[in-house]
Structure 1
Amino acid sequence: MSDEQTETGTGWPQPAGPGRPAGPAGEPDPRPDAPDPDELSPLAPREKPGDGERSGAEGGDVEPVEDATVELSSTPASAPAGRGRVSAASVMIAALLALLGFTLVVQLKTTSTDPASGATRQEDLVRILSDLDARENRLRQDIAALEESQRQLRSGEQGRQAALEEATRRADELGILAGTLPATGPGLSVRFEAGAKPISAVHVLDAVQELRGAGAEAMQISGGDRATVRIIASTYFLDGENGSLIVDGRRLTGPYTITVIGDPATMRTALNIPGGVVASVQGDGGTVHVEDREVAEVSALHAPIKLEHARPVS
């Protein structure tokens, strides 16, 4: 064994490496804290304490020291846990989406099966609301007129004349409502023609009620034989023989025409409400013709009713 093998303590010649820095004359670095060049070399083998002495003493070959291998077991171990969390979150999101979809389906089914919302169109609802507003305005105008009449009746010398005019006006209105006076004004002509089934008294009564609710002020009904009956609050309708109608005890044959005085637009809307008079008659195979009249004449008169029991309150 050579001197160089003994100095390294490994039994093998020291590998060639960069030379130790030297001074001007090639001598070792004179600094006391200068690092050992053997320690800085990446190719220098790491020695355990006592290896040099043991190798030098034994003088035999030394087995190379194997570096400890660090197993990165944390990464593979954490991967299944991460996949498990993602799977649980996916299941939760899917369950929430399924619940939301079920709720939407139930709501849509409930809305689609609602008979009121399915039968009434938005245009009809807007038109009905407009009619109600117009009726409210008319009632407010009536209230204002009555209040003005009351003020005039209490105003001294003009009280008698105002009272007479007011009494005359009220008598005319009551005469029209009672059917004892003829009337004229804008309105409608409503004609009922039978189809497979005759026009029933129920259909005519429904039409009269719808017209009254829409502000009709005077009405009369005529048959195919031109017989005419004034319609008032006490008028009744019955089904007669061979598709005829009995109106206040008088027999009328079809087709039937109702002449009515009032606001044409409001009354036409009332008749054409979904599920109303027009739809009912068409469901039985009949037809209803509604025509506007700038001047509708209600000329049929009703005999005055003699009251036997009712008396005005004084």
Structure 2
Amino acid sequence: MTTPSDAHDELAGPADGPEPQQPVAEPDAHPAGGDHEDAAGSATAPELHEEEATAPEPPATPQPSPSGWAALARALRFRASRGQLLAGVLCAVLGFALVVQVRQNNETSLSGLSQADLVRILDETTTRGDALATEVNDLRSERDQLLSGSDKRQAALDALRRSAETQGILTGRLPAEGPGVVVTLTEPNGQIKPVTMLNMLEELRNAGAEAIDLNGNRVTASSAFAGVPGAVTLDGVTLEKPYVWTAIGDPDTISTALQIPGGAMAAVRSNGGEGVLQRRDLVEVTSIRTLPDPQYATPVPAAAG
């Protein structure tokens, strides 16, 4: 028989003890109807992937074709290679060198002379041309006399004599006299170089000097300068200072040629030397030079007939 205390105990027992844990239903990973959707999804997923794989790609947007001007500009665009750059640099250097050379030539040309000097040079050139024309006429007359048969022997002797005198003066075997110049070179501030003396000789010859003497030494076509600045030698003979040039020829032509800008006298001044030029109506070249007989050259035999 159950007593009230027992009933009380029964009622209190479950209250005091731990409450029975109710099974908690795990939340469904999918909402209601998920089973159906999973099933449908599992059934249609492969089909969607298939459609995505086989779906055609959208057509590419066509690029606008370049216009004719754009194509021409792209074709004419400069593309420099290493060889082109090197060629350009070489052309620039060559052009610069040509400009410098032209300027130097202009500085030493006749453009630097005054009008009076140019007129004098023209007159001297005309006079020289007239003298050459006269010489041509004389030679033609001499030839006509030799061919005419009148006094052929005397004409031949006269021709030989004049030829011997001319060759004797030009080769230095005979003394000579006539109009010319005397140039005295000194070295107050430097030493004149052998090449400067050679330039003097070339200027005298170009100006028409027919007989040249330097410090008592006859200068001929075979003469040569050597030595060092301050000790110049002519044909092996050391020259003493001052250097005195005596030349027979047209004084005006020779003096103009020596004093032209960039000429022989300018070269003397660049060496620290000075020059005094005197024109004279009569100068004498008394020095002579004995030339050795040629060892290898012989005259060409006269043509028969």
TM-score scaled by structure 1?
Answer: 0.59
Q: What is the CA deviation profile of residues 150-169 of structure 1, one whole-angstrom value per residue up to 9, with x for unaligned ones? A: 01111223111011011001
1:151 pairs with 2:144 = yes
Task: Identify the match of residue 306 of structure 1 among 284, 293, 298.
Answer: 293
Q: CA deviation at 1:193?
A: 0.6
1:120 pairs with 2:113 = yes
Q: Give matches, 1:69-88, under 5 Å.
A: none
Unmatched segments (≥5 aa) in structure 1: 1-109, 223-227
Q: Give matches, 1:37-56, under 5 Å.
A: none
The alignment partner of 1:220 has SS state of strand
- Counterpart residue type for residue 211 of structure 1: L
Unmatched segments (≥5 aa) in structure 2: 1-101
Distance in 1 (alpha carbons) for counterparts of 2:207 and 2:167: 19
Distance in 2 (alpha carbons) for counterparts of 1:117 and 1:151: 42
Match of 2:222 in 1: 234
Match of 1:284 in 2: 271
Task: Identify the match of residue 142 of structure 1 among 135, 141, 157.
Answer: 135
The alignment partner of 1:257 has SS state of strand
Distance in 2 (alpha carbons) for counterparts of 1:151 and 1:121: 45
Match of 2:159 in 1: 166
Q: What is the CA deviation profile of residues 134-181 of structure 1, one whole-angstrom value per residue up to 9, with x for unaligned ones? A: 221121111111101001111223111011011001101101111111
Contact between 2:223 and 2:235, CA under 8 Å: does it hold in 1?
yes
Match of 1:107 in 2: none
Distance in 2 (alpha carbons) for counterparts of 1:165 and 1:138: 21
Greater C-alpha radius of gyration: 2
Distance in 1 (alpha carbons) for counterparts of 2:256 and 2:134: 22
Distance in 2 (alpha carbons) for counterparts of 1:301 and 1:114: 40
- Counterpart residue type for residue 208 of structure 1: L
Q: CA deviation at 1:182?
A: 0.6
Distance in 2 (alpha carbons) for counterparts of 1:190 and 1:117: 23
RMSD: 2.1
- Counterpart residue type for residue 163 of structure 2: R
Q: Which has the higher contact order (CA 8 A, sep 6+)?
A: 2
Q: What is the CA deviation profile of residues 205-242 of structure 1, one whole-angstrom value per residue up to 9, with x for unaligned ones? A: 111111111111101100xxxxx2100001001134x7
Distance in 2 (alpha carbons) for counterparts of 1:165 and 1:176: 17
Distance in 1 (alpha carbons) for counterparts of 2:291 and 2:266: 36
Cα gap change, 1:159/1:249 in structure 2, threshold over 3 Å: closer, same or farther?
same
Distance in 2 (alpha carbons) for counterparts of 1:145 and 1:194: 45
Q: CA deviation at 1:276?
A: 0.6
The alignment partner of 2:284 has SS state of strand
Contact between 2:185 and 2:242, CA under 8 Å: does it hold in 1?
yes
- Counterpart residue type for residue 235 of structure 1: S
